[in-house]
Amino acid sequence: MALTDCDRELIDRCLTRQPDAWKDFADRFAGLFVHSIKRVAEHRSYQLNDADLDDISSEIMSTIIVDNFKVLRHFRGRSSLATYLAVIARRVAVVELIKRKKQSAAESAHEIKVVNNHFNIENREQVEYLIRSLSDKEAGVVQAFYLEGKSYREISEQTGISENSIGPILTRAKEVMRRVASPF
């Protein structure tokens, strides 16, 4: 389907910045954008929430208006405007969801390394309970690494334990804490 007269008029109104043109554009295509975002999320097994939908929809709208409506100015009318915008929306949604997945993975990795800054009081109490289930040596290493954020070298210097032994001690300690943590 080619460009309709209604769509051509809407594009012209937006490009000439006529009153209510952008509002009409947004009202007309917001559902298409949401649908495109949901499809991309479904295909990428990403759980969307309302904030994600709003943020990605806003990013799509921003992409369309950037550089004085560059996306609309580049539209050649070889397809329907809805088809063209669906492609734009899918591309933006893919980029945004990839960013969100990477950010989520980075935050998860950061939470594992910097436990102290991410635990609330209840969780900190659980960690302290789990640490008490360890030997004094293991508890000291876990405390220094996870709660104080010290490096293997710093722990070695502090405790006199070989730097090469810190990793295996942490691994064993995590196993013990996993077994003890099952009630949580």
**pTM for the model:** 0.57
pLDDT at 93: 94
Q: How confident is the prediction for the chain on average, in pLDDT? A: 83
State whether CATH 1.10.1740.10 applies to domain 5-109.
yes
pLDDT at 112: 43
Give the residue extent of every domain in the chain: 5-109, 114-181
Of 71 and 118, the structure prediction assigns the larger pLDDT to 71
pLDDT at 109: 47
Cβ proximity of 2 and 80 under 8 Å: yes
pLDDT at 181: 62
Residues 143-178 have pLDDT tens digits of: 888 777 788 888 999 999 998 888 888 888 877 777
Q: Give a three-class secondary structure readout of the chain.
A: CCCCHHHHHHHHHHHCCCCCHHHHHHHHHHHHHHHHHHHHHHHCCCCCCHHHHHHHHHHHHHHHHHHHHHHHHCCCCCCCHHHHHHHHHHHHHHHHHHHHHHHHHHHHHHHHHCCCCCCCHHHHHHHHHHHHCCCHHHHHHHHHHHHCCCCHHHHHHHHCCCHHHHHHHHHHHHHHHHHHHCCC
Q: What percent of the chain has pLDDT over 70?
A: 84
Highest mean pLDDT among 105-109, 125-129, 153-157: 153-157
pLDDT at 91 over 60: yes
Q: How confident is the model at residue 184 (pLDDT cuts 50, 70, 90)?
A: very low
pLDDT at 125: 64
Residues 10-58 have pLDDT tens digits of: 999 999 999 999 999 999 999 999 999 999 999 888 888 898 999 999 9
The CATH code of the domain at 114-181 is 1.10.10.10
